[in-house]
Amino acid sequence: MWRFFNVGTWWKRVAKAVQNEDEGVDKAAAEEFIRLYHAENPAAGSIRPRLRDALAEIDRTGSYTHTPGELAFGARVAWRNSSRCIGRLYWKSLRIRDRRHVDTADGITDECVEHLRVAGNKGRIRPTITVFAPDRPGRRAARIRNEQLIRYAGHRQPDGSIVGDPLYADFTDQARALGWEPPGGRFDVLPLLIDVKGVTELRTLPAEVIMEVPITHPHYPWFAQLGLRWHAVPAISNMCLEIGGLCYPAAPFNGWYMGTEIGARNLADTDRYDQLPLIARHLGMDTSNERTLWRDHALVELNVAVLHSFAEAGVTMTDHHTEARRFMTHLEKEERSGRVCPADWSWIVPPLSGALTPVFHRYYDDVRLRPAFAHHPAVAAPTTDRT
């Protein structure tokens, strides 16, 4: 459900408006956000004293502090502005966990565990964000290196093959270098790697908050024998939440999965779990000729299995047809509100049966708005610690 952009050249254009560890907050960005907040929240009161106080704080310290209301609004609008996310209809429902006071590896781990518990909600997934401290001039805040709080390891084998998820083979190597000793299976949940005060610390997640769904098929009993499964809460954890010139580099957030994210990408892509050839053989299809459309047939059955399995487990998931219609509803609401709704066509159109969905048949405004979730340029790796 959540798809976000890698800012690339856009980052170069807006970098001056986002505070970093050497320079202070850009006043124009702070004022722009505060004006947006007050424009959409009339009950917040007069804007003049708030602007005066925020700008004065920037003059004194190089930064400023968002109120709880500003933080919540900024996080929700960052979701609203995410041009690669099809599931933005419910942006106002995002639950905010303000944890700006937590700045240790143990504290961040505890809050990530609680995030998974709250967001998982026994299968009724709730859109949730946990926001840790922002960067300040001269002080780099904590980072979570993991792309998501839950992802699976990729174990390199002597013959060059990889057991597990090839996408995370390098990350798995990093975790091993820090002392992690995994079982070596196909679905080993990676530990958290947290950068705090120039040191990378490794922490593992307790099994009780790792909700996983075994993949079965409503018509093919052999599907269970493939041994596939996937985790329930897609909590993105390596993106910066940018609000009014402030960067919150550790702010894990989640919606719920759309079936194609798992069935047409994670388990299907040739550089991931690459299950389509195996499924096609079980289906008795001729894989020697592309004209048999064996990939298409296998892909549909894999997606049927994913949707069926999450429904059987009582875990929230949406299908791409339903979510496409919801996105069109969101688009119409935004247009009625007089707002631009940014959207990247190549990400909004689902990777399965795209032309059968309403999002396929139109163009979008692919603009970059703030607040936003963004990947920042890579920085030099801190020193390591095996605690």
> Any idea which residues carry the catalytic annotation?
85, 88, 256, 261
Whether residue 85 is annotated as binding a ligand: the answer is yes
Q: Is residue 147 a contact partner of residue 6, using CB atoms and an 8 Å limit?
A: no
- Per DSSP, helices labelled H in 251-373 are 259-261, 276-282, 294-313, 320-336, 345-348
Give CA separation, 217 vs 244, 307, 350, in Å.
47, 9, 22
Residue whose C-alpha is closest to residue 249's, from 238, 234, 258? 238
CA atoms within 13 A on the CB side of 39: 11
Structure tokens at 342: 């940014």
Spacing of C-alpha 211 from chain mean position = 17
Interatomic CA distance for residues 30 and 308, integer angstroms: 46
Interatomic CA distance for residues 308 and 51, integer angstroms: 51
Give CA separation, 127 vs 92, 94, 116, in Å.
10, 5, 11
Point out the annotated binding site for heme: 85
